[in-house]
């Protein structure tokens, strides 16, 4: 993994990275349901969910969103010199475009929209996160996500 300066990161606005494919399993969906308490049948009951327009169980939208850190790590982002921590700050936009069916493979596409210094040592990074579903013509979600990077 490459190491770059904050200035080099700021100069890379507009670049895009793509992660490896990851399979969304029913076990992953069930574990997320247990963690969040969201046991709606469309997520956890394959027999009943098969009777819906989805044709089977689907991942929670928030599970799809929460794959962002793992997929970002699989996209070989460069390390920024001197970073002590990074934190989620929030999102400007999130749109769930289509469901992720259990067993589907997904990948993250990350486009750096901005990287600016908010105050000395604190940088705001905004990425567009697109969750693509293998073989689908429309993504599962598109989110504009803000992180703070402490240097």
Which residues touch 114 (CB under 8 Å, ≥6 apart)? 13, 124, 125, 126
In this structure, the number of other CB atoms found within 10 A of the CB of residue 67 comes to: 24
pLDDT at 78: 83
Query: Rounded to whole angstroms, how far apart are CA atoms 106 and 129?
Result: 12
Q: Name the β-bridge partners of 17.
A: 110
Please report which helix (H) or strand (E) contains residue 28, including its range: helix 26-36
DSSP 41-87: HHHH-HHHHTTSTTSS-B--HHHHHHTHHHHHHTTTPPEETT--EEE
- Looking at residue 1, what is its pLDDT? 60
Enumerate the domain spans of the chain. 3-24+59-150
Phi, psi of 86 (to 5 degrees): -130, 140
Tens of pLDDT, residue by residue, the chain (151 residues): 688 999 999 999 999 999 999 999 999 999 999 999 999 999 999 999 999 999 999 999 999 999 999 999 999 888 899 999 999 999 999 999 999 999 999 999 999 999 999 999 999 999 999 999 999 999 999 999 999 999 9
CB 24 within 8 A of CB 32: no
Q: How many CB atoms lie within 10 A of CB 130?
A: 18
**End-to-end Cα, the chain, rounded Å:** 18
Neighbours of 1 (CB within 10 A): 7
Q: What is the pTM (predicted TM-score) of this model?
A: 0.92
Overall size of the chain counted in residues: 151
Choose which CATH entry (3.30.470.20, 3.10.129.10, 3.40.50.1000, 1.20.1440.230) describes domain 3-24+59-150: 3.10.129.10
């Amino acid at each position: 993994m490459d190491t770059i300066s904050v200035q080099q990161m700021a100069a890379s606005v507009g670049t895009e990275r793509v992660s490896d494919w990851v399979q969304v399993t029913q076990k992953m969906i069930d574990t997320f349901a247990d963690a969040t308490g969201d046991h709606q049948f469309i997520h956890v009951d394959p027999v009943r969910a098969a009777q819906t327009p989805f044709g089977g169980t689907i991942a929670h939208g928030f599970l799809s969103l929460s794959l962002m850190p793992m997929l970002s790590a699989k996209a070989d982002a460069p390390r920024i010199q001197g970073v002590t921590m990074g934190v989620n700050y929030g999102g400007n936009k999130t749109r769930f475009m289509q469901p992720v069916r259990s067993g589907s493979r997904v990948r993250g596409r990350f486009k750096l929209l901005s990287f600016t210094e908010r105050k000395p040592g604190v940088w705001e990074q905004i990425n567009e996160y697109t969750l693509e579903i293998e073989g689908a013509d429309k993504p599962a979600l598109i989110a504009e996500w803000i992180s703070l990077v402490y240097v």
